[in-house]
Amino acid sequence: MERNNVDINLVSPMMKEYLKTKKEYEGTLLFYRLGDFYELFFDDAEIASHELELTLTGKNAGLEERVPMCGVPHHAANIYIQKLVDKGYKVAICEQVEDPKTAKGIVKREVIEVVSKGTLTNTESMNEYDFNYIASITDNYINYIFSYADLLSGKVYATYIAHDRNKLISYINNLNIKEIVVNSSFDKDILYDLKSN
């Protein structure tokens, strides 16, 4: 079942809220908190069940066909999130932000964090001597403006690099950057070289 083909007016109230949240976080796997579990639905569930070797089940969401679903216990979510991030996925964590006992109607939920290689702060799985840098590159066609930060230590750096792609790639490789953010017009050949290194 394809999420984009679902008529939002036909689904249950909970699934309607899920679909609205998921639309805001395309390109991520949405861990949606339901009680003691984080649930994933539709294509997110299919990907996570394959990558994490979880059982793919279905959930009645008000449609004739059950919606693909898998889930992980909330207390063990960091292990599963780490595995997905290591495989190159981004994970959006949608948490219950009000007490289900006092909520009227659907429990309010919000995405509280998006986890990627550069924003991972789970220190249990990280080498204490290695920084977890996320970087940004801007090309002003004279220099590359290169900034990078480690969210765990709070260290932030910025520099200019001569407009030489080999110097830029070498600089990035020496720092062991985990994630790079660029605008859509950035040189695709440089991105390809970085990915292959």
pLDDT of the residue at 17: 93
User: Per mean pLDDT, which of 21-35, 61-75, 123-137 is the most reliable?
Assistant: 21-35
Which DSSP helix (H) or strand (E) runs through 38? strand 37-41
Which DSSP helix (H) or strand (E) runs through 81? helix 77-86
pLDDT of the residue at 30: 97
Compute CA distances 149 → 19, 127, 155, whole Å: 33, 17, 6
Q: Indicate the CATH number of 3-116 among 3.20.20.140, 3.10.450.200, 3.40.50.12780, 3.40.1170.10.
A: 3.40.1170.10
**Mind listing the pLDDT tens digit for each residue in 95-118?**
998 887 787 888 889 999 999 988
Tokens standing for 101? 């006992």
CA 108 to chain centre: 21
**Mind listing the pLDDT tens digit for each residue in 3-22?**
777 777 788 888 899 999 99
pLDDT at 125 over 70: no
Residue pair 85/122 in contact by the 8 Å Cβ criterion = no
Compute CA distances 7 → 3, 10, 64, whole Å: 9, 6, 12
**Mind listing the pLDDT tens digit for each residue in 170-194?**
999 888 888 899 998 999 999 888 8
Span 125-196: which CATH code? 3.30.420.110
Specify which residues 39 forms β-bridges with: 32, 71
Task: Give residue 34's pLDDT band: very low, low, confident or very high (50, 70, 90).
Answer: very high
Q: Parse the chain into domains and list their residue ranges.
A: 3-116, 125-196
pLDDT of the residue at 167: 93
Length of the chain, please?
A: 197
